[in-house]
Amino acid sequence: MRYHRFEKNLPFTDAEFERRLALVRAAMDRAGIEVLFVTDPSNMAWITGYDGWSFYVHQGVLVFHDADPVWWGRNQDANGAVRTVWMGDDRVIGYADNYVQSTERHPMDDLAQRLIGMGLGTTRLGVEMENYYFSARAYMALHDALPGAKLIDATALVNWQRGIKSDEELVYMRKAAAISEKIVDGLMERVEPGVPKNEVVAEIQRDAIMGIDDDWGDYASIVPLLPSGSDAAAPHLTWDGRPFQKGEATFFEISGCYRRYHAPFCRTIFLGEPPDIFRSAEAALVEGLEAGLDAARAGNRARDIAEALAAPLERAGIERGARCGYPIGLSYPPDWGERTISLRAEDETILEPGMTFHFMPGLWMSDWGLEITESILITENGAAECFCDRPRKMYVKP
Amino acid sequence: MRYHRFEKNLPFTDAEFERRLALVRAAMDRAGIEVLFVTDPSNMAWITGYDGWSFYVHQGVLVFHDADPVWWGRNQDANGAVRTVWMGDDRVIGYADNYVQSTERHPMDDLAQRLIGMGLGTTRLGVEMENYYFSARAYMALHDALPGAKLIDATALVNWQRGIKSDEELVYMRKAAAISEKIVDGLMERVEPGVPKNEVVAEIQRDAIMGIDDDWGDYASIVPLLPSGSDAAAPHLTWDGRPFQKGEATFFEISGCYRRYHAPFCRTIFLGEPPDIFRSAEAALVEGLEAGLDAARAGNRARDIAEALAAPLERAGIERGARCGYPIGLSYPPDWGERTISLRAEDETILEPGMTFHFMPGLWMSDWGLEITESILITENGAAECFCDRPRKMYVKP
């Protein structure tokens, strides 16, 4: 019986958390890992339910083969952990505040002492070497403080387990997709020549967080991106206060978010009469998207989607250098991708039912850009299912 | 003469960027660093003007003693760099897209080859070991690919140069503060028993991004935090769809943001009649804040603020374990602090005119919380100046 001081509002059933833990433990076993230290906040949340904007300080979840996970982090955030994780309160450990951004001591020293105290000073410890929240210094500090342990690179070990979504997760992604649709509908209404971009973003953010009825909106892991005209060559510029202009295309990359689950969606709005270059790019892109959706079938490979997309684009003389998609689901800033599969020619991963991707063939040319994308679900049979249901085209407001 | 293909909308004068570069080069000199590789997006922006949500892939700025900095990142983001940095277009280098989240190659291999190509394969290279955007794997990959180089820890080297704000920066921080005031005014109007929390956050985000007149709002580096009742023990919980309730205190930690500059501000709203414990905590906290503001003088130390705050709190029987503030200014997610000074008993840093802090003595007790904070400027003479001008008290709506 687990002791909980606070009533919990867990996002998933016990069975779902047990499913996840079993997957992680099996992957640890295959990798020869006795204890896994998970620092990716998305992985932490997926395994334990932990939710809070505390990832700007060092924290993590320890996964064991034979005991419940332990949440470890800053003392003040342990208060958030006992309120959000499924484990008992005794599985939550806080470290003293003077470890935070100290020039004298590192939080990994505390973690190492905890592990040694548990008799795990010589364990085979998995760490996520490629993660925003496990710095080079953190690795060095942990390495030095645990001289008897063997540190094993467990980058993306948990991320790979997240690839196939459960029915419970798909419910959340559909709610996120409904919010994405609401945002795009609002854009079509509001974007007009002369309207400052930040005003449109203000309404996007309001729509996103209001959500739909009882399905309240969470913060997306990336802010809205909406470069216009020549700036649309650059996919990751954010907004400013300049007005939308007639004769320019703006693409909007947005995502609704429901309890940390995302369904990214991009559409482009052209104000005025699009020149031929846009019309022909649109035609080739839509043809490529439809070919890619048809190739996005269980049993095919990730690269098949990329190659199906590329053919009509090449016929139109458009060469994309970039991958055309990535897996999506639960995420925290700064990225809403899962950082495992990439939809590109060199990725041979076999597609399986329940995998979800942002099929994202953005065109970023030297002085213009066009984005029409779909968040998709690989199904048991047949082509991929799109989470959002909006016209697959460049929107034009004459 | 620098060649720029695009018209730029640089946020600062040439003189300001020159001031910054001179400070960084002097610090590099003191640390024996020949080339500095800056990966903190805040440092990248502060040195070059670069602005974009691209920090979820590897990127950075190389600083040299005798040549303009080089922006290095993903090919598609080089399009954003040539539009936002002050250097010439030939100082922007992109790497191929198949380095992104690849299981076969690491972007640091590309960076190493670039450095070798510049004749810098054996340089003394500064790297930011403690940063979200320089992973353990990135360090190992760079280390292995540059066997002749000496990697030197340059954690916070640039951050320390950012501490004293220029007049140009203070203009932006005051604009951010005006947005913070607008947000808090909106909260006082909107927070009522029965209103779902996400609806209030939706309006906060709308207010923040609408900005004030022509001063358009940017995204803050942390989302609004607003735990209520017992959850207010946990400072970093985000929102959900539950309604505000009579008899509960909610603290709001928010920040306006103007061109990436922040002025964080926290106020607490009690709905109903606050119990004595809140009233006495409020009195002690306000007394502590005022003592701290008086101690926040040029020539005093960081610790003096913390100690001035602690005295009245201790008299009221309140022991805080946490630091009570940190420097603020330009920032990118996931943190709006500068990660240098901490306002706590062990920090002996001398306060200087132009330094800016979030004086943040949050009280997070076992089952309640109270936040009343100020963003402050250390002045030439006298006590600190507060960026925001709102009553320093717990707001009560009976």
Cβ separation B198–A205 shorter than 8 A = no
Cβ separation B238–A52 shorter than 8 A = yes
Other CB atoms within a 10 A radius of the CB of residue B273 amount to 11
pLDDT in tens, B87-140: 999 999 999 999 999 988 999 999 999 999 999 999 999 999 999 999 999 999
Cβ separation A155–B137 shorter than 8 A = yes
pLDDT in tens, A227-262: 999 998 899 999 999 999 999 999 999 999 999 999
Cβ separation B53–A9 shorter than 8 A = no
Q: Give B136's contacts in chain A (Cβ within 8 Å).
A: 127, 129-131, 134-136, 138-140
DSSP, res A220: P
Homologous superfamily (CATH) of A14-161 is Creatinase/prolidase N-terminal domain (3.40.350.10)
Nearest CA in chain B to A253: B53
In a structure prediction context, what are the per-residue pLDDT tens digits for chain B, which is 398 residues long?
689 988 888 999 999 999 999 999 999 999 999 999 999 999 999 999 999 999 999 999 999 999 999 999 999 999 999 999 999 999 999 999 999 999 889 999 999 999 999 999 999 999 999 999 999 999 999 999 999 999 999 999 999 999 999 999 999 999 999 999 999 999 999 999 999 999 999 999 999 999 999 999 999 999 999 999 999 889 999 999 999 999 999 999 999 999 999 999 999 999 999 999 999 999 999 999 999 999 999 999 999 999 999 999 999 999 988 999 999 999 999 999 999 999 999 999 999 999 999 999 999 988 889 999 999 999 999 999 999 999 999 999 99
| Cα gap B195→B184, rounded to integer Å | 16
| Cα gap B98→B110, rounded to integer Å | 11
Distance from CA of B138 to the nearest CA of A (A): 7
Q: Which residues pair with A270 in a beta bridge?
A: A249, A396
For residue B6, give the amino acid letter. F
Q: Which of B103, B348, B368 to mutate to test the interface with A (most CBs of A within 10 A)?
A: B103
pLDDT in tens, B74-83: 999 999 999 9
Indicate the class that CATH gives domain A167-397.
Answer: alpha beta
HEC assignment per residue over chain B: CCCCCCCCCCCCCHHHHHHHHHHHHHHHHHHCCCEEEECCHHHHHHHHCCCCCCCCCCCEEEEECCCCCEEEEEHHHHHHHHHHCCCCHHHEEEECHHHCCCCCCCHHHHHHHHHHHCCCCCCEEEECCCCCCCEHHHHHHHHHHCCCCEEEECCCHHHHHCCECCHHHHHHHHHHHHHHHHHHHHHHHHCCCCCEHHHHHHHHHHHHHHCECCECCCCCCCCCECCEHHHHHCCCCCCCCCECCCCCEEEEEEEEEECCEEEEEEEEEEECCCCHHHHHHHHHHHHHHHHHHHHCCCCCEHHHHHHHHHHHHHHCCCCCCCCCEEEECECCCCCCECCCCCCCCCCCCECCCCEEEEECCCEECCCCEECCCEEEECCCCCCCEECCCCCCCCEEEC
| Cα gap B90→B88, rounded to integer Å | 5
Q: Give A209's contacts in chain B (Cβ within 8 Å).
A: 198, 201-202, 205, 239
Q: Which of B85, B130, B368, B371 to mutate to test the interface with A (most CBs of A within 10 A)?
A: B130
Cβ separation A97–B322 shorter than 8 A = yes
Q: Give B241's contacts in chain A (Cβ within 8 Å).
A: 211, 214-216
pLDDT in tens, B191-232: 999 999 999 999 999 999 999 999 999 999 999 999 999 998
Cβ separation B56–A237 shorter than 8 A = no
Cβ separation A241–B214 shorter than 8 A = yes
Cβ separation A83–B196 shorter than 8 A = no
Q: What's the whole-model pTM score?
A: 0.97
- Let me know: does A228 contact A308? Beta carbons within 8 Å: no
Other CB atoms within a 10 A radius of the CB of residue B313 amount to 20
- The torsion angles phi and psi of B324, rounded to 5 degrees, stand at -115, 25
Q: Give A210's contacts in chain B (Cβ within 8 Å).
A: 198-199, 202
Query: Omega before B334 cis (within 30°)?
Result: yes
Nearest-CB residue to A131 (from B97, B135, B337): B135
Distance from CA of B264 to the nearest CA of A (A): 15
Distance from CA of B274 to the nearest CA of A (A): 22
Residues of chain B within CATH 3.40.350.10 domain(s) are 14-161
Cβ separation B101–A337 shorter than 8 A = yes
Cβ separation A77–B231 shorter than 8 A = no
Q: Give B98's contacts in chain A (Cβ within 8 Å).
A: 323, 344, 346
Cβ separation B202–A198 shorter than 8 A = no
Distance from CA of A139 to the nearest CA of B (A): 6
| Cα gap B33→B29, rounded to integer Å | 6
Tell me what ipTM this predicted complex has: 0.96
- List Cβ neighbours of B110 (8 Å cut-off, separation of 6 or more): B95, B96, B99
Nearest-CB residue to A135 (from B130, B231, B337): B130
Nearest-CB residue to B77 (from A127, A234, A366): A234
Residues of chain A within CATH 3.90.230.10 domain(s) are 167-397
